[in-house]
């Protein structure tokens, strides 16, 4: 089937529309992948600007720049954008670009679905942010102000921002499920002859687990926010005790999605990261099978630990113990992955180009995120950590370092392949060091703030927290500005630069490196055979 499709397309190569119509109607996996990645970058900058507003307000005690209502909107929309519109689309963008190349397919299996999956995102982003603009014209009272977690009854009480966010989440969810179906079908049906499952690139495995998690959990989120919508407008009482409901039910439903979600955004990174480490170590990937099994183990465990996000609501002791021990047990497969990553570079012949710098930095910083997560699993201590800046620091080590910095490693790794040009190594390295250092300066103080007792999601704080907040705010601005180097480097790489070879990196292995840089519009006109 796939070879037929290739033949068909070969004749039509010059006929595809140009200009805006090309992007609106494209079914080409690389075009769509590019759109996902560009969208992700734009949203990353937008979410970053929002949170810099927050950090400016938190620069010193007292309210200076924003009102508390607006502050709450900024943190919630920041998080929704970063997770749903920056991290997830970046991972899907890579899946689009690289999966067909890595498994020797001409395109994704369901190209029209693919187009649709992407074009649901911009409307969702608009829905999320539109209430900010509407409020300027006196309509409604701004965007969702409940944090990204939508907790009822606060969200039942909230303004139109909540409704907008609910619809945005629906669109984002549909987009993710469509993307996941496409990934599963592509991976299972379109691999090159000879590529058995156990010969698949790790990235394909990790996306398979991701897609499985998305399909398992997005419907639960969709159900939860729909129940919220009917509670808000149609008189149901799912989350209202006065009508026989339970506010904590919402938290269970939300985190049944929300916990797997953190793996959904991280798994794709765990997929390509070993490939990067292997490339710059010039040595085979360590423990391929162990990694595949660990990915699945984590995927499955991710579905059964959700209540560790709300230990303090009050639960029966057996439930507390169960969620504590099951959470701790995730550390085992995760440790297997860490072991394999480090064993991959051990006794390699290492060089430190920008992707490798990000990869090494990523192991260290994501390690901090993982270890603090282990500590958070302890129910008794969690009563102290929960909802303080300690948690904020922890999840930025996983989401910013583990997620975004991982994605950045991927961008630098594949950018020459995608554009056909080398980027500036000098700027790439500068970007890495500035990011790594200012990231730590932003978030290490937040660990101490949390321990000292500063709750999260507060627009103003007691005087004893002033010093650390000030350091954190300053570093956050450096962190934010450093990302402009990234943007500049990408743009100039797209525009031109030293020509990239097919292989790009000396130690690169895998099908994507056998194609030209950039690859032809239709990736594999002839299916490669894997021995």
Partner 1 sequence: MFTQWFKNRWMLLISVLLSLHAHAEITWNFPTPATPMAEDTLHVHNKFMLIVMVIFLVVLGIMIYSIYNHRKSKGFKAAKFDGPSNKSQLIWTLVPFAILLYIDFILMGIPAYHSVVAMEDTKTNADMVIKVTGSQWRWQYEYMDGDAQGLKFVSNLKTSEDEIYNKTDKNPQYLLDVDNHLVLPVDKKVRVLLTSTDVIHNWWVPAFGAARDAIPGFLRETWVKIDKPGVYRGQCKELCGKGHGFMPVVVEAVPEADYKVWVEAQKVKLAAAAEGANKEWSKDELVAKGKEVYAKNCQVCHQANGKGLPPAFPSLVDSAIVKGKIFDEQGKLLKDSHLDRVLNGKGVMPAWKSVLNDVEIAAVVTYERVDFGGMSDTLQPAQVKALR
Output 204 or 392, the one with its CB closest to ligand HEM: 392
Nearer to partner 1, 39 or 71 (CB): 71
38 by Cβ neighbours in 10 Å (0-12 / 13-18 / 19+) ranks as: middle
Q: How crowded is residue 22: how many other Cβ atoms within 10 Å of its Cβ? A: 12
User: Which of the choices ligand HEM, Cu ion, partner 1, none does residue 101 contact, using the CB cut-off of 5 to 8 A by kind?
Assistant: none
394 binds Cu ion (CB under 5 A): no
Q: Which is nearer to partner 1, 5 or 530 (CB)?
A: 530
Cis previous bond, 530, omega within 30 = no
> What does the alpha-carbon distance between residue 295 and residue 261 come to, in Å, rounded to a whole number?
14
Question: Two tokens at 201?
Answer: 């690139």
Cβ distance to ligand HEM smaller for residue 79 or 504: 79
In terms of phi and psi (left: phi > 0; alpha: psi -120 to 50; beta: otherwise), the region of 520 is: beta
Query: Which residue among 111, 122, 123, 247 contacts partner 1 (CB under 8 A)?
Result: 247
Under 8 Å CB-to-CB from 495, ≥6 apart: which residues? 421
Supply the minimum distance, in Å, between the C-beta of residue 306 and partner 1: 16
Residue from 379, 402, 203 nearest 288 by CA = 203
Single out the residue of 281, 354, 438, 517 in contact with partner 1 (rule: CB under 8 A): 281
Position 282 contacts partner 1 (CB under 8 A): yes
Binding site for ligand HEM (CB under 6 A): 48, 51, 54-55, 75-76, 78-79, 82-83, 86-87, 147-149, 392, 395-396, 399-400, 403-404, 442, 456-457, 476, 479-480
Write out the two tokens for 476: 């956050």
Identity of the residue, 180 or 446, whose beta carbon is nearer to ligand HEM in the bound complex: 446
Of 85-93, 246-254, 400-408, 420-428, the window that binds partner 1 (rule: CB under 8 A) is 246-254
Instruction: Give 196: exposed, middle or buried? Use CB within 10 Å, 0-12, 13-18, 19+.
Output: exposed
- By CB under 8 A, the count of residues binding partner 1 is 101
Scan residues 223-242 and list those touching partner 1 (CB under 8 A): 240-242
Using CB distances below 5 to 8 A depending on partner kind, what does residue 259 bind out of partner 1, ligand HEM, Cu ion, none?
Cu ion
Interaction between residue 374 and partner 1 (CB under 8 A): yes
**287 contacts partner 1 (rule: CB under 8 A):** yes
Tell me: does residue 232 bind Cu ion (CB under 5 A). Answer: no
CA pair distance 53, 74, nearest whole angstrom: 8
Residue 515 and residue 502 in contact, taking contact as beta carbons nearer than 8 Å: yes
Return the number of the residue (75 or 334) whose C-beta is nearest ligand HEM.
Answer: 75
Residue 16 interface partner, choices Cu ion, ligand HEM, partner 1, none, CB cut-off 5-8 Å depending on type: none
Angle between helices 406-419 and 466-495 (to 10 degrees): 10
Residue 8's contacts (CB-CB under 8 Å, 6 or more residues apart) are none
Among 199, 252, 387, 503, binds partner 1 (CB under 8 A): 387
Based on CB atoms, which residue is closest to ligand HEM, 86 or 285? 86
Asked if residues 47 and 39 have their Cβ atoms less than 8 Å apart, the reply is no
Q: Which two tokens stand for residue 489?
A: 């480097």
**CB of residue 288 vs partner 1: minimum separation in angstroms?**
7
Site for Cu ion in 233-292 (CB under 5 A): 259
Under a CB-based contact definition with an 8 Å cutoff, are residues 502 and 517 in contact?
Answer: yes
Interface positions with Cu ion (CB under 5 A): 259
């Amino acid at each position: 089937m796939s070879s037929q499709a290739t033949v068909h397309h070969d004749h039509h190569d010059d006929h595809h529309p140009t200009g805006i119509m090309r992007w609106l109607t494209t079914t080409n996996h690389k075009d769509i992948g590019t759109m996902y990645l560009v969208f992700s970058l734009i949203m990353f900058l937008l979410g970053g600007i929002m949170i810099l507003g927050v950090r400016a307000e938190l620069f010193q005690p007292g309210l200076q720049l924003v009102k508390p209502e607006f502050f709450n909107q900024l943190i919630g929309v920041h998080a929704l954008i970063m997770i749903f519109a920056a991290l997830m689309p970046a991972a899907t963008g890579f899946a689009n670009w690289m999966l067909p190349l890595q498994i020797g397919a001409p395109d994704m299996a369901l190209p029209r679905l693919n187009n649709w999956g992407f074009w649901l995102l911009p409307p969702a982003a608009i829905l999320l942010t539109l209430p900010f603009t509407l409020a300027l014209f006196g309509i409604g009272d701004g965007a969702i102000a409940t944090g990204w977690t939508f907790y009822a009854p606060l969200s039942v009480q909230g303004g139109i921002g909540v409704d907008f966010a609910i619809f945005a989440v629906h669109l984002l969810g549909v987009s993710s499920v469509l993307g996941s179906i496409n990934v599963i079908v592509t991976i299972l049906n379109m691999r090159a002859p000879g590529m058995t499952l156990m010969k698949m690139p790790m990235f394909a495995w990790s996306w398979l687990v991701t897609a499985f998690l998305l399909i398992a959990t997005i419907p639960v989120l969709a159900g939860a926010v729909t129940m919220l919508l009917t509670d808000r407008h149609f008189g149901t009482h799912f989350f209202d005790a006065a009508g026989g409901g339970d506010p904590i039910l919402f938290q269970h439903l939300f985190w049944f999605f929300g916990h797997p979600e953190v793996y959904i955004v991280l798994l794709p990174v765990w997929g390509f990261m070993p490939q990067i480490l292997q490339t710059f170590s010039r040595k085979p990937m360590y423990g391929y099978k162990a990694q595949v099994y660990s990915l699945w183990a984590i995927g499955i465990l991710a579905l059964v630990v959700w209540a560790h996000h709300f230990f303090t609501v009050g639960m029966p002791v057996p439930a507390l113990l169960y969620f504590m021990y099951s959470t701790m047990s995730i550390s085992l497969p995760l440790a297997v992955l860490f072991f394999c990553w480090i064993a991959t570079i051990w006794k390699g012949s290492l060089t430190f180009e920008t992707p490798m710098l990000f990869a090494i930095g990523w192991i260290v910083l994501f390690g901090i995120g993982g270890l603090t997560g282990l500590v958070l699993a302890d129910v008794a201590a969690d009563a102290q950590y929960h909802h303080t800046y300690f948690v904020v620091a922890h999840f930025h080590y996983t989401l910013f370092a583990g997620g975004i910095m991982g994605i950045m490693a991927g961008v630098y790794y594949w950018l020459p392949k995608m554009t056909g040009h080398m980027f500036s190594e000098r700027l790439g390295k500068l970007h890495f060091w500035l990011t790594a250092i200012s990231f730590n300066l932003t978030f290490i103080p937040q660990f101490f703030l949390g321990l000292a007792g500063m709750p999260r999601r507060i627009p103003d704080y007691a005087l004893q927290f002033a010093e650390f907040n000030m350091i954190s705010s300053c570093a956050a601005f450096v962190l934010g500005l450093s990302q402009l180097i990234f943007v500049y480097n990408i743009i100039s790489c797209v525009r031109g630069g030293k020509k990239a070879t097919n292989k790009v990196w000396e130690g690169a292995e895998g099908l994507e490196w056998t194609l030209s840089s950039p690859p032809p519009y239709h990736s594999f006109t002839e299916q490669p055979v894997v021995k």
